Chains A and B, each alone.
Chain A
């Protein structure tokens, strides 16, 4: 089609399916020396001629350029070793070496990937520079710093997500963002809402760590494209992809509690256009772990088998994938000796069981238009069924959730790429069928059946006038069959007002339907009488936040500072009130005020070439009205410190990591009406948690040895009145710290590359 003009260079950006690999290849490719430091160029495409508004960034530098109305750009202060990253909506992002001697002519190729966000990924985790949202990316290298075991443990080296302990029976680790429970964070798998509904408390355990390629953590209200459910933030998990994963990836893990895990990832290239990825996980813990002498297992016995298989098709215009995920998982805990098959309702022991099975079919299909590369559409869907049965003590639970989700997104520009938009429609179907038997007289004994059907429409406009400024304004309207119309406006802005300083702001509304019986284990594991005071209403909140990030070179190494403040105001919230009486758990819609304020200051700096240090201070002021009084949310530290040190030798032959968390005192529920021996202090003590890991790399992978809770800190007497589990004072929900002590683990990762 074209011939190379003699006076200029043509750079052909060929189709690449593996952006990151190409990025690296180019990074290490030839270095040419010319004396000048200014680069001029023009960007064109076969289909559209000169391209206006193309972003040209300089890798690892805080500046760049955007092509003008004739497709031209000029960059100053460029060094020969710098690399230019050229990106434009609908075209392949590519990385080039600068040419100083003459005008660069860059011919961009239409993208063969529909609906993939353009994100330039760094080597380790950190704030994603270009994102209008405050996004923190956790890469595979970062994930491997904490080897165990599933999504709930994947945030250990990340300061923005905290881990909390649900109770003293179920062994559930939960996450919090800005001090708000994980249920207020939308957790999606590759853009499809995943951990929600009846799965919102336990669901993190069903996403094995070795399946995860990277995690995006977004603080504050998210994009309207993914729904109305992100109230405090959103977490998107990217799994290993058929087209880029290793041929084989094997992992075995064993810890001192006796937990054994086996993971296998397998890639199969079926043809030029079809590839398949199989992800398999199995784990089991059959020994009874008891270290505090209360006769209860500190963590339940468990076993799980989990399989995900998907097929990806990449054609010239069409990209499609389809896959399934099935798993079965069982837990058995409570008093020592209680086993998987025992009958909860007749056992003389206080037992705990949770058995669940899930089957899910999911997929994506996307189309691009070679003649109009800025335009594309994509459709994502998921169909799933999950059932649960189990309970704790004499409280028995059974549940079923059938869900269907579809989201159609169309993206294009208005005139030029300064103005971009995404619009589309979604449909959400949830059918819940739950039964609960509180076992005690006058207690709760009923079934809950609910069907939600929610069609919705959304529109999001991106204004990107320059490299320094981005404005995203979006809104969606959803028509909920039970709760009426939800209108969800959201806005985000990013302004890099100097090369070193970036200011971000966001505001947005969020909604979700609570699932009281499943998402809060305090209903299960105490003898408190449960009272539902009113009909279920959706939870509604507004979230507002600002953040400032700064990057400076200090002693020729980058110092990064991020300060953020978020305010979440609940219009309605489902409140689990333990303050009214120590005999009661009152569940009611919010009566009064509830809000959360979160402040975080994070610093990261490489102390030497090989030693990275990251430290953070967090302050959470989360207040909720319980028993008529506005007070600090219980089991929530107001002050927290975080310190991570990461050491690695060249090419990661040796790696060592250490994370220290300090949790300030937490308010405990009012138990002043209990018998004196069962009363709790008003506050928990503060405590430290220390995790560390060492790994040795080989050509084929690595081996690792690590420890969690190395200081062996345990909450003393985590269960109130453990001698009488069926008595009136029994309560295993007064948990503020770790129950199980130190655990040492070792494992091996073995990869066979293609």
Chain B
């Protein structure tokens, strides 16, 4: 029993020593505050993620993560699953279809369009 505990202790120590916080910037297709909120919120709860911040001007999502628990590839896949392009990983079309109108392509291409922007009917289902 003692041996087992000791092994676990040593193993976890090695693990901790190995775990490093890394940062990465991933170029996304997020275009507005709404997208920022959706993406940051989702990635906050992703395994291994320490902090998240989306720069709306550059559309880059900056993530600090533990490299022992996740990887840039996993993070990109997750962003795609939420409905946004992540570097070269294309977004999941189903998730994209569910996004609010203002987070879709073209919603922010022309500034004058904004005030005309139609609100989606609240979906109660």
**Contact indicator A16/B107 (Cβ below 8 Å):** no
Given contacts A14-B121, A17-B124, A650-B40, contact A29 B34 (CB under 8 A): yes
What chain A residues lie within 8 Å of B116 (beta carbons)? 9-11
Q: At the interface, yes or no: A653 with Cβ under 8 Å from chain B?
A: yes
Given contacts A30-B107, A269-B124, contact A25 B34 (CB under 8 A): yes
Spot the interface stretch: B14-22, B41-49, B63-71: B41-49
- Nearest CB to that of B102 among chain A residues? A29
What chain B residues lie within 8 Å of A19 (beta carbons)? 122
**Contact indicator A28/B45 (Cβ below 8 Å):** no
What chain B residues lie within 8 Å of A10 (beta carbons)? 116
Q: Give a binary string over A67-106; 1 marks a CB under 8 Å from any B CB, 0 the rest.
A: 0000000000000000000000000001001010000100
State which residues 77-125 of B face A: CB under 8 Å.
100, 102, 107-108, 111, 114-125
* Distance in angstroms between the alpha carbons of A26 and B101 in the assembled complex: 11
What chain B residues lie within 8 Å of A557 (beta carbons)? none
What chain A residues lie within 8 Å of B40 (beta carbons)? 650-651
* Distance in angstroms between the alpha carbons of A22 and B107 in the assembled complex: 17
Q: At the interface, yes or no: B59 with Cβ under 8 Å from chain A?
A: no
What chain B residues lie within 8 Å of A17 (beta carbons)? 121-122, 124
* Distance in angstroms between the alpha carbons of A618 and B72 in the assembled complex: 54
Q: At the interface, yes or no: B32 with Cβ under 8 Å from chain A?
A: yes
* Distance in angstroms between the alpha carbons of A283 and B42 in the assembled complex: 33
- Give which listed residue, A30, A99, A275, contacts B108 with CB less than 8 A: A30
Given contacts A651-B41, A698-B45, A754-B125, contact A28 B118 (CB under 8 A): no
**Contact indicator A15/B121 (Cβ below 8 Å):** yes
Given contacts A22-B122, A29-B33, contact A651 B115 (CB under 8 A): no
What chain A residues lie within 8 Å of B36 (beta carbons)? 28
Q: At the interface, yes or no: A119 with Cβ under 8 Å from chain B?
A: no
Q: At the interface, yes or no: A18 with Cβ under 8 Å from chain B?
A: yes
**Contact indicator A651/B124 (Cβ below 8 Å):** no
* Distance in angstroms between the alpha carbons of A25 and B116 in the assembled complex: 15
**Contact indicator B45/A653 (Cβ below 8 Å):** yes
**Contact indicator A28/B119 (Cβ below 8 Å):** no
Cβ of A699 to closest chain B Cβ, rounded Å:
5
Given contacts A28-B32, A650-B40, A651-B41, contact A11 B115 (CB under 8 A): yes
What chain A residues lie within 8 Å of B37 (beta carbons)? 28
**Contact indicator A29/B117 (Cβ below 8 Å):** yes
* Distance in angstroms between the alpha carbons of A16 and B114 in the assembled complex: 19
**Contact indicator A29/B115 (Cβ below 8 Å):** no
**Contact indicator A27/B122 (Cβ below 8 Å):** no
* Distance in angstroms between the alpha carbons of A22 and B119 in the assembled complex: 8
Given contacts A16-B122, A31-B33, A243-B124, contact A25 B102 (CB under 8 A): yes
Q: At the interface, yes or no: A150 with Cβ under 8 Å from chain B?
A: no
**Contact indicator B118/A32 (Cβ below 8 Å):** no
- Give which listed residue, A16, A651, A754, contacts B119 with CB less than 8 A: A16
Q: At the interface, yes or no: A638 with Cβ under 8 Å from chain B?
A: no
- Give which listed residue, A16, A30, A651, contacts B102 with CB less than 8 A: A30
**Contact indicator A28/B121 (Cβ below 8 Å):** no
* Distance in angstroms between the alpha carbons of A32 and B34 in the assembled complex: 14
- Nearest CB to that of A99 among chain B residues? B115
**Contact indicator A14/B118 (Cβ below 8 Å):** yes
Cβ of B66 to closest chain A Cβ, rounded Å:
15
**Contact indicator A26/B45 (Cβ below 8 Å):** no
Q: At the interface, yes or no: A551 with Cβ under 8 Å from chain B?
A: no
Which of A10, A16, A104 has the most chain B CB within a 10 Å cutoff?
A: A16
Q: At the interface, yes or no: A244 with Cβ under 8 Å from chain B?
A: yes
State which residues 1-59 of A face B: CB under 8 Å.
9-19, 21-22, 25-32
Cβ of A702 to closest chain B Cβ, rounded Å:
10
Cβ of B46 to closest chain A Cβ, rounded Å:
9
What chain A residues lie within 8 Å of B118 (beta carbons)? 12, 14
What chain A residues lie within 8 Å of B51 (beta carbons)? 650
Q: At the interface, yes or no: A697 with Cβ under 8 Å from chain B?
A: yes
**Contact indicator A25/B114 (Cβ below 8 Å):** no
What chain B residues lie within 8 Å of A99 (beta carbons)? 115
What chain A residues lie within 8 Å of B114 (beta carbons)? 30, 32, 97
Given contacts A12-B118, A29-B102, A99-B115, contact A650 B34 (CB under 8 A): no
**Contact indicator B33/A18 (Cβ below 8 Å):** no
What chain B residues lie within 8 Å of A269 (beta carbons)? 124-125
**Contact indicator A699/B115 (Cβ below 8 Å):** no
State which residues 3-38 of B face A: CB under 8 Å.
31-34, 36-37
* Distance in angstroms between the alpha carbons of A699 and B31 in the assembled complex: 22
- Nearest CB to that of B51 among chain A residues? A650
Cβ of B110 to closest chain A Cβ, rounded Å:
11
Cβ of A263 to closest chain B Cβ, rounded Å:
22
**Contact indicator B124/A32 (Cβ below 8 Å):** no
What chain A residues lie within 8 Å of B123 (beta carbons)? 18, 754
What chain B residues lie within 8 Å of A15 (beta carbons)? 121
**Contact indicator B100/A9 (Cβ below 8 Å):** no
Which of B36, B37, B45, B124 has the most chain A CB within a 10 Å cutoff?
A: B124
- Give which listed residue, A9, A32, A697, contacts B111 with CB less than 8 A: A32
Cβ of B30 to closest chain A Cβ, rounded Å:
11
**Contact indicator A25/B121 (Cβ below 8 Å):** no
**Contact indicator A14/B33 (Cβ below 8 Å):** no
* Distance in angstroms between the alpha carbons of A26 and B32 in the assembled complex: 11
What chain A residues lie within 8 Å of B33 (beta carbons)? 27-31
Cβ of B43 to closest chain A Cβ, rounded Å:
9
Given contacts A27-B33, A31-B33, A99-B115, contact A651 B44 (CB under 8 A): yes
- Could you list some 16 contacts between A and B, CB below 8 A? A15-B121, A17-B121, A18-B122, A18-B124, A25-B102, A28-B36, A28-B37, A29-B33, A30-B31, A30-B32, A30-B108, A30-B114, A650-B51, A651-B45, A754-B124, A754-B125
B interface residue numbers (CB < 8 A to A): 31-34, 36-37, 40-42, 44-45, 51-52, 100, 102, 107-108, 111, 114-125
Chain A to chain B: the 7 pairs with minimum beta-carbon distance, closest first: A18-B122, A28-B33, A28-B34, A16-B122, A269-B125, A29-B102, A17-B122
A interface residue numbers (CB < 8 A to B): 9-19, 21-22, 25-32, 94, 97, 99, 104, 243-244, 269, 275, 650-651, 653, 697-699, 754
